[in-house]
Structure 1
Amino acid sequence: MQKRLSIVMAEVHLRCLGGCREVGRSAFLLDVNGKKLLIDYGISLNETPSFPLHVRAIDVDVVVISHAHLDHSGSVPLLYTSKIKPYTVSTALSAVVLRYLLADMLKLSGYYLPFEVHEVQEMYESMTLVDNDEVVDVGDVQVRFIHAGHVPGSSMILISCEGFKALYTGDINLVESQLLYPADKQQILRECPIDLLIIESTYGDRAHEPRKIVEEKFVQAVMEVVEGGGVVLIPAFAYGRAQEIMCVLYKYLRDAVEVYVDGMAKALSRELLDYHMYLKDLKLYKEALKKVRFVKRAEQRAEILKKKGIVVISPAGMLRGGPSTYYASILADREDS
């Protein structure tokens, strides 16, 4: 007589609240056996901010943040405008960076935002901080944070329950950079089979040159301008991209060029020193940080632009606000820059 094999799997429902067929406001509500996990709750910062579909705080058991970039986290304070306070989980570094990014967003877009400093503080008081590879239990659901390779402290989110597995990659990078190790493909494969995969695919429709070639072309382009006496402005996101560019320039050029760092990238670059466990090469990072010059006052910017053969790394990465817009307005008419 043959025995029948019975497999019981969790009951699962997924609602896509934002980030589908668009860039920004990533948000997914995953219901696993009645436990509701809100995975990211981002914002799109255009002329006016746009938010994901509404979800009531009472309908959320836990908010899970993959990383601090606002397109994945900027709407989380919305959940703290009522008396119900869901608890939020992120890595410790993402929580630190998010404090800076939310404060900056409130300063620049506060008139359009349906929350204020109070809600941000409520969010922080409800946060649980973890490291990558830690597991958080939400009833019978296990939530595991896995290194994503995108920015320091970023995570993929693995959800497990009764034989069911879901993987949310968030923003994922599988290529080693100067700042970070890539996401571990073998670690992901060891978790297979994955029943539900939610994967970031912004640049999935194009081929990329090998990282080393991209870095060499970038450095060559920088040196062409520097050797001609011009100024190279590199608009960069304050968290992740600015620090990567610092490391690339230091690795290839060492003392060959004078590099200035402006805006929020200054404070976040210092913060990373306290979270060096997220970095690939602490020695390289410390040396790169030691060589750059921080712009301390707004009045310095005009003087810096009088110099010849320099590099300026400054937010905002898309030239939407921040000191980079000032530098760009001055350099726009210079043929050597």
Structure 2
Amino acid sequence: MNSVTSYGAAGMVTGSCHLVKLGPIQILIDCGMFQGLGDSERNYEPFGFDPAEIDFLIITHAHLDHIGRVPKLVKEGFNGKIIATQPTKDIANIMLLDSAKILKEEYKTLRRKAKRHGDEERIMEPLYTEDHVKEVFLKRWHVLEYFEKHKLPKRIKVTLGNAGHIMGSAFVMIDYVEDKTTKRVVFSGDIGSKHRLIIDPLDNMHEGDTLFIESTYGDRVHRPIKESVKQFKQSVITTLKRNGNVIIPSFALERTQEILWLLHEMFHNNELPRCRVFLDSPLAIKATRLYNKYPVHLSDEVEYQTLGDGDPFSFASLESISTREESRMINKVKERTIIIAGSGMCHGGRVMHHLKHRLWNNNNTIIFVGFQVEGTLGRSIIDGDEYVKIYGEEIVVKAQIETINGFSAHADQSDLIEWIDNFTELKNLYLIHGEAEKMEIFGKVIKDRLNHEAKIMEYGVSVKL
């Protein structure tokens, strides 16, 4: 039986992992980390399948909730071929090495604390190490351009289309033959809005029998990007003019580059008040170099600057911060700063100590420019908690809190509906990668507007293709 089974991003946002069985061929779509309070422990649980039996791993893009368990997959026996775009391969390398480093640091911290209580044996070893990450990139990779067909055994073909989510992101088309008829199953990965700041918009799809589609924002419509840019600029300018500081918890991929592009434009248009801008994220610095490396994946305006003499992600008042010592020195600058730091959901990283030092001051502004998973510190702040705990200390939330969802790299409800509507012969539709209540809302909207029945995938439950 040809089938699909979801072992992540089923009834939840993170942990994307979908097993496609086409006769004897087993294809895994992504192998991501579970993220959020109470979910991260699931990363240490056994896979619901034998990694050694997987023939192909297709990676849609290089966010950790889509690639974060790949080293674990390799460690536990996967020896097949990995398929992705070239930017995704390069970005995955820096993301996974950074992840391994964080896992090692977390392990040392937890072990040190447990040792003081005499129960260090209960602390699990890191999920994987840098050596395991290196093994991933020693495997066989096949790099695809968008809409380049790649033949697999048993008359199966794989094609990737531009998902418009982050650089190199792709939706996956798998063509297979059943009862002498060619059929197609499509996995959206994470798809972006058609209105993007720095990368080309997603490609439309027309052919497909079965679609597995993300539903992160299936319950809402984003503010128009122009309004979001206006809100961002006003918030930055207002905060700086009152001698406050702007802290932007930002994802190293795509969101940081979008923010740098906007600040670059503000600086060169004389809109940016006098200030110091700190990019306090070694990972984001590395990712930005890759964005400059692949200008063909950028929007026409940004690509033009990249190919010319200018750097669209840099300007005179920007300071890139690499070391921890440099990061700590930022705290000595008391006013008129913009601090861009990870992690984007405030569940670790350098942004934590910036929040600890500035969250309690009502002159400052925290600008959230990305999705905050339930159970993260970022979600607690935007949900209005009066106090939050950072490094064991209760911190009062007095800074201005701005949430600008228009920057989201995810398509909103209208974008998703429009993309689905492009399919001309769609027979089966499944919702993945979304919070359960949001998928319920999205499913009803799909029924009302498109007259399609959308089923919600359940963890570990197989569906027939």
For the criterion TM > 0.5, the same-fold answer is yes
Give the Cα–Cα distance (whole angstroms) in 1 for the partners of residues 131 and 232 of structure 2. 43
Structure 1 residue aligned with 2:336:
309
Pairing partner for 2:298 from 261, 279, 283? 279
Alignment partner, residue 57 of structure 1: 51
| Structure 1 position 293, deviation (Å) | 2.0
Shift of 1:120: 2.0
Shift of 1:103: 1.6
1:225 aligns with 2:239: yes
- Separation (CA, whole Å) in 2 of partners of 1:21 and 1:311: 36
Report deviation, 1:72: 0.6
Query: For 1:270 and 1:172, how far apart are their aligned partners in 2?
Result: 23
Match of 2:314 in 1: 290
Whole-Å separation in 1 of the counterparts to 2:151 and 2:72: 24
The structural deviation recorded for 1:212 is 0.9
Structure 1 pair 115–297 and aligned structure 2 pair: CA distance change class (3 A)? closer
Give, in angstroms, the shift of residue 82 of structure 1. Answer: 4.6
Shift of 1:335: 2.0
Equivalent residues in 2 for 1:36-115 (5 A)?
A: 36-46=26-36, 48-51=40-43, 53-82=47-76, 85-110=79-104, 111=107, 112=124, 113-115=126-128
1 CA distance for matches of 2:101 and 2:224? 39
Rounded to whole Å, the distance in 2 between the matches of 1:311 and 1:288 is: 18
- 1:21-59 deviations in Å (ceiling 9; x for gaps): 101101111112332110011111346442384321232
Secondary structure of residue in 1 paired with 2:290: helix
How far is the alpha carbon of 1:214 from its aligned partner? 1.3
Question: Residue 260 of structure 2 contacts residue 314 of structure 2 at CA under 8 Å; is this kept in 1?
Answer: no
Correspondent of 2:138 among 115, 122, 125: 125
DSSP 3-state at the match of 2:150: strand
1:151 positional shift: 0.5
Gaps of 5+ in 2: 108-123, 365-465
Instruction: Give the aligned partner of residue 179 of structure 1.
Output: 198
1:108 is displaced (CA, Å) by: 1.8
Quickly say closer, same or farther: Cα 1:14–1:282, change in 2 above 3 A.
same
For the pair 1:33 / 2:54, whether they are aligned, the reply is no
Question: What secondary structure is seen at the aligned counterpart in 1 of 2:6?
Answer: strand
Are the aligned partners of 2:6 and 2:19 in contact in 1 as well (CA < 8 Å)?
yes
The percent identity for this pair of structures is 25
Contact preservation (8 Å) 2:264, 2:314 = no
What secondary structure is seen at the aligned counterpart in 2 of 1:299? helix
Query: Which of 232, 253, 260 lines up with 2:278 in the alignment?
Result: 260
Aligned with 2:313: secondary structure? helix
**TM superposition shift of 1:250:** 2.4
Amino acid at match of 2:295: H
Take 1:109 and 1:302, find their aligned partners in 2: how far apart are those partners? Answer: 22
1 CA distance for matches of 2:262 and 2:194?
15
CA contact (8 A) 1:261 1:312 kept: yes
Q: Aligned in 2, Cα 1:213/1:60: closer, same or farther, shift over 3 Å?
A: same
Q: 298-307 or 314-323, which moves further after superposition?
A: 298-307
Cα 1:84–1:170 change in 2 (3 A) is closer
- What RMSD in Å do the two structures reach over aligned CA positions? 2.0
Following the alignment from structure 1 to structure 2, what is the Cα–Cα distance between the partners of residues 261 and 219?
18
The amino acid across from 2:8 in the alignment is G
- Aligned length, in residue pairs: 322
CA distance in 2, matches of 1:207, 1:271: 31
